[in-house]
Each structure stands twice: as C-alpha cells, then as structure tokens.
C-alpha cells in the first residue's frame, strides 16, 4: 500500500513539473543587418561588435531570453513583418523597419559620423563642402545614404580607401587625403593617443538608434514598453556608455 501511495505521489509530482517545463518561453529572436562597427559578421560567420554586449545587458534587465541572428537587410525587414524576428535595432524612423515594426520610445545610443582633418584644413559643415576634395573611407563600411552620396559622380569627391580605423588615421596624418569620414566611437581612442590638437573633427551626421519590435508579436506594444523600461534602467546605470567606451573595435 505504501509503495502504491509513493508511486501515485511521484506520478503527481511528474505531472506537475512537466507542464512547468513546457511553459518555458522560447527565446526572442534579436536580429540585425550588418552595421559596422557596431555589429558585424567576421570571416568565420561569427557576429561581433558592442551591440552584442548591449543586447546582453538589455534582455537580462528585461528578464527575457533571446537569441542573436544576422541577416541581409531585405531579409531582416521581411522577417520583422512576418514576426519571425521579434526585436531589431536601427536608426530613428528607419523606413524599412517601420513597415513591419514599432519603434521604441527610448534611444539606445547616438550614432555620430564625423569628418576628421588636420587643424589647418577648412572645416566641413555639409557633404557639399567636400566637392573637389579627397576623402578617406573605411573600405568595409557603407556609411548609409551619406556614403552613396559621396560616391555619386556628381559629388565630385575622390575616395581613398583604408583597411582599418588606425590605417585611415595614418593616411590622414601622412597627407594621403585632407579629410577622413568615420564614426566617432572607434576613432575616439585613436585620437586621444595623439598629441593634443593633432586632429580636428567636424560633426556631419547625428542619428539616434532605437529598438524596433515586430508588429506581428501578439503583444507588440507591451513588449516595446517592457524593453523601453529595461533600457531606461540600463542607461541610468551608465551601462550603455561603458559598453560603447570599452568596445574593442577593429582598429
């Protein structure tokens, strides 16, 4: 009899535990298109960049499991529309993402594209000021719409390509071209290592980067609000700036 009672109790416990295990939430797919230097895929197909650490901090704060994936831009937009990708990240008002996703209300970080030059070179206030000049670009980067604008024949801009951030800076220092276009975050440490006033910079593009939540998610607004609240807490602790400052960009 005791054996029977024990077996019944064990069976009851098993039935209680199994549904709890079955209800474990599936990881949310957090996906990005190639976005160097903040997120990029290396030659072995492995993702890298500070956005990975930002995602770790954000989803841990929100207490949500997630898995990171990388896709070509067009496929990413399609997956957001279909709900296969739940969360992504992109520039404010990104048209490709807004078709199938809600934009968050809290900027994750601010992206800055600057023109770097020697102090005696004329300052640059807009892309049009670069007409007739040579500009150094990182060969692996596209620089969005600004990159396309500079490469257009009508822009009259001569492009010199560098293989790395440090290589681009050396080209500038050795007068291979009078201007260098690059992102602020990976350049800051390189500039700080130079003697004071060696290089001047002019802000050219400022853009806030936001989370985007698939509209196909059954509680898209609720998930957006949950992630926004977690992001506020992460930013208030200074974690976002620490992650960006400590990032090991490919120099």
Same domain, 95 and 129: no
Same domain, 130 and 74: no
Same domain, 123 and 164: yes
Element (H, E) at 162: strand 158-162
Cα dist. 250→61, 73, 88, 140 in Å?
28, 22, 23, 11
pLDDT at res. 142: 74
- 15 within a domain of the structure (yes/no): no
- 36 within a domain of the structure (yes/no): yes
Determine contact, residues 216/83, Cβ cutoff 8 Å. Answer: yes
Q: What is the CATH number of the domain that holds 146?
A: 3.40.190.10
pLDDT at res. 33: 86
User: The domain containing residue 148 runs over which residues?
Assistant: 111-206
Q: The dihedral of CA 208, 181, 246, 249: what is its sign? A: positive
Query: pLDDT per residue over 173-208, tens digit each?
Result: 999 999 999 988 888 888 989 999 999 999 998 889
Over 50: is that where the pLDDT of 5 sits? no
pLDDT at res. 230: 98
Same domain, 97 and 121: no
Same domain, 133 and 100: no
Query: pLDDT per residue over 93-150, tens digit each?
Result: 888 899 999 999 999 999 889 999 999 999 999 999 999 999 999 887 778 778 888 9
Same domain, 105 and 143: no
- 152 within a domain of the structure (yes/no): yes
Determine contact, residues 107/210, Cβ cutoff 8 Å. Answer: yes
Same domain, 61 and 126: no
pLDDT at res. 48: 84
| Dist. CA 13–CA 27, nearest whole Å | 27
- 134 within a domain of the structure (yes/no): yes
- 20 within a domain of the structure (yes/no): no
Same domain, 199 and 220: no
pTM: 0.75
pLDDT at res. 17: 47
Nearest partner of 114 among 127, 99, 100, judged by Cα? 127
- 53 within a domain of the structure (yes/no): yes
Q: What are the phi and psi torsion angles at 108 (to 5°)?
A: -75, -50
pLDDT at res. 248: 61
- 200 within a domain of the structure (yes/no): yes
Q: Which long-range contacts (CB under 8 A, 24 or more apart) does 96-99 make?
A: 97/212, 98/212
- 201 within a domain of the structure (yes/no): yes
Over 60: is that where the pLDDT of 21 sits? no
Same domain, 134 and 213: no
Q: Structure tokens of 36?
A: 């160097």
Mean pLDDT to the nearest integer, 52-73: 95
Query: pLDDT per residue over 24-62, tens digit each?
Result: 778 999 999 877 788 877 777 677 889 999 999 999 999
Nearest partner of 241 among 185, 187, 190, judged by Cα? 185
Q: Structure tokens of 247?
A: 């990032």
pLDDT at res. 251: 55
Give the pairing of strands 134-138 and 179-183.
parallel
Same domain, 152 and 196: yes
Same domain, 115 and 96: no
Split into its structural domains, the chain has a count of 2
């Amino acid at each position: 009899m005791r054996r029977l009672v024990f077996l019944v109790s064990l069976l009851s416990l098993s039935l209680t535990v199994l549904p709890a295990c079955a209800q474990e939430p599936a990881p949310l797919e957090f996906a990005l298109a190639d976005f160097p230097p903040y997120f990029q895929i290396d030659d072995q197909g492995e993702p890298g960049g500070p956005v990975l650490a930002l995602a770790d901090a954000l989803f841990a704060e929100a207490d949500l499991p997630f898995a990171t994936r990388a896709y070509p831009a067009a496929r990413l937009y399609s997956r957001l529309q279909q709900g296969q990708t739940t969360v992504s990240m992109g520039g404010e008002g990104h048209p490709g993402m807004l078709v199938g996703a809600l934009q968050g209300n809290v900027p994750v970080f601010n992206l800055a594209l600057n023109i770097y030059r020697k102090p005696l070179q004329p300052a640059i206030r807009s892309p049009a000021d670069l007409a007739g000049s040579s500009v150094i670009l990182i060969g692996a980067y596209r620089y969005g719409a600004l990159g396309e604008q500079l490469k257009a024949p009508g822009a009259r801009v001569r492009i010199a390509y560098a293989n790395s951030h440090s290589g681009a800076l050396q080209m500038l220092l050795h007068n291979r071209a009078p201007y260098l276009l690059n992102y602020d975050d990976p350049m800051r440490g390189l500039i700080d290592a130079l003697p004071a006033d060696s290089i001047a910079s002019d802000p050219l593009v400022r853009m806030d980067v936001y989370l985007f939540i698939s509209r196909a998610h059954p509680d898209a607004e609720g998930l957006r609000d949950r992630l926004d609240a977690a992001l506020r807490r992460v930013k208030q602790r200074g974690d976002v700036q620490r992650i960006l400052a400590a990032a090991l960009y490919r120099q």
